[in-house]
Amino acid sequence: MRSLIIGGGPAGLQASLDLADAGYDVYLVERYFSLGGHAVQIAKNYPNLTDIKDFMKPLMEKVYNHEKITVLTNAEVLSVDGEVGNFKVKVEKRPTYVNVEKCTDDACKKAMEVCPVEVPNEFNLGLFDKRKAIFIPFSYSVPYGCVIDEKSCLHFKDEGCSRCNEVCDGINFEEKREIVQIDDVGSIIVATGFDPFDPNLRPELAYDKYKNVITSLELERMLDENGPTKGKIIIDGKEPKSIVFAHCIGSRDKKVDNPYCSRICCMYTAKEAYMVKEKIPDATISVSYIDMRAFGKGCEQFYEEVQKKQVLYRRGVAAEIYGAGDQVVLRAEDTLLSNAYEFNADLIVLAVGVEPRSDSAELSKVLGLQIDDCGFFVEKSIYDTCETEKDGIFIAGCCQGPKDIQDSLMQGSAAAVKAIGVMKRCNN
């Protein structure tokens, strides 16, 4: 009997590892080309500012190389039949047209060099750089090596380009889509994660209008030493000297159907403000917030540390944003003073909230699970957030509700224990 994990972010990775270490065979299905989820787009974690890479890279490698774990990346679950103790799962494994076993630094470099296609690099949110149709997903992707994105590759269009094939012998354009049938699946853990909120749904914040209004995830890419700007914060060729962070963008907001608190934005903003201040010591930094929610272990202390870095917290949500010359202006009410203020800034960072995956409704149908009004998977009871109404299917991480990396890992472990319990029961 084996277990199926859907989603290779922190929760899915941890669940896979715990199950495998307990002696169970695991299939881990990940939609993207690499394991890691959104966590690998982030440079440092709060509240202790440790490098996320130092944690995620070994975790991903351990899972990938574990003899009990079969990792299927670039793959998606098509159907689930059967019941607890004996699910039958059909997975679509899409071709990447590259045998990563044959990847060498030199061959990959050459292949990417000769590729004539350039498209925005989605890992960096399309904002900073372009990638080729043949590319390495990111600096420490697992599996590591090139993949071909068939949507942009010219070989699959009329032009019939094969330039990468001429410089690299790992390429196989004949590779086909595979259907992998997995039987004897005792338990399933769903850990499909989240989508960041699209701030265009709040047009008064003018996100699509100004280059110097960005999302927190976009800033994360700039804070990453291995990212597209090598850790430099550059807006329109210049280092910003005045920065405002705006909390609760797409959270606690019924107008965009997200009435819940996203739980992570208060603290990731505190961390980002801290990191920006480290990088630009003479910057003026301000944060517009509604309520400060620093509930995690060590978080309140970290918040205090950030305040002592001269990051000014002003109570009141961002009301609107508009341009003023090269700068942008955030207008808000300081609700403690009962007066509106305007902050002229070189950069405004929108702390976007956590949303369920846009296709969570489709997956819920495949699995026979319930989703709530917001699109998160529904747990059986608030006292047991891993179990679902469906025996043998468990949920973990942000697909159940917004949470940080620490909590996602913990729920991944908890789901693994539940899965082991159910499989023991079915074996007796």
Partner 1 sequence: MSLLSEIEECGEVIGKDTIDSFLACMQCGKCTGSCPSGRVTSYRTRRVINRLQAGDRSVLADPNLWMCTTCYTCYERCPREVRITDIIRAVRNLAAKEGYMSKSHRATASYVIKTGHAVPINDETKKLRKELGLSEVPPTTHKFPKALESIRKIIKKTNFDKLVGFDWDTMSLEERGEK
Q: Closest separation between CB of residue 30 and partner 1, Å?
A: 34
Q: Closest separation between CB of residue 274 and partner 1, Å?
A: 24
Q: Are 81 and 188 in contact (CB under 8 A)?
A: no
Around Cβ 297, how many Cβ atoms within 10 Å?
A: 8
**Nearest CB to partner 1, comparing residues 260 and 303:** 260
| C-alpha torsion 271→277→278→280, nearest 10 | 140
Q: Which long-range contacts (CB under 8 A, 24 or more apart) does 328-331 make?
A: 328/206, 328/210, 328/212, 328/213, 330/244, 330/246, 330/288
Cα–Cα nearest to 69, from 9, 4, 10: 4
**Nearest CB to partner 1, comparing residues 312 and 361:** 312
Which helix (H) or strand (E) segment is 5 a member of? Answer: strand 2-6
Cα–Cα nearest to 82, from 393, 419, 320, 315: 393
**Nearest CB to partner 1, comparing residues 151 and 254:** 254
361 φ/ψ angles, rounded to the nearest 5 degrees: -65, -40
Q: Which two tokens stand for residue 317?
A: 């949500």
Q: Closest separation between CB of residue 281 and partner 1, Å?
A: 30
Q: Closest separation between CB of residue 56 and partner 1, Å?
A: 33
Q: Closest separation between CB of residue 374 and partner 1, Å?
A: 15
**Nearest CB to partner 1, comparing residues 112 and 321:** 321
Q: Closest separation between CB of residue 354 and partner 1, Å?
A: 16
d(CA 14, CA 394): 14
Cα–Cα nearest to 70, from 18, 145, 16: 16
**Nearest CB to partner 1, comparing residues 212 and 251:** 251
Q: Closest separation between CB of residue 292 and partner 1, Å?
A: 13
Q: What is the bridge-based pairing of β-strands 69-72 and 25-29? A: parallel
**Nearest CB to partner 1, comparing residues 244 and 415:** 244
**Nearest CB to partner 1, comparing residues 84 and 256:** 256
Q: Closest separation between CB of residue 262 and partner 1, Å?
A: 13
Q: Are 43 and 218 in contact (CB under 8 A)?
A: no
**Nearest CB to partner 1, comparing residues 253 and 379:** 253
**Nearest CB to partner 1, comparing residues 79 and 335:** 335
d(CA 26, CA 141): 20
Asked if the bond preceding 240 is cis, omega within 30° of 0, the reply is: no
Q: Name the site residues for partner 1 (rule: CB under 8 A).
A: 204, 248, 252-255, 290-291, 315-320, 331-335, 338-340
How many CA atoms, within 13 angstroms, populate the side-chain half-sphere of residue 254? 0
Q: Closest separation between CB of residue 363 and partner 1, Å?
A: 28
d(CA 158, CA 168): 22
d(CA 230, CA 127): 14
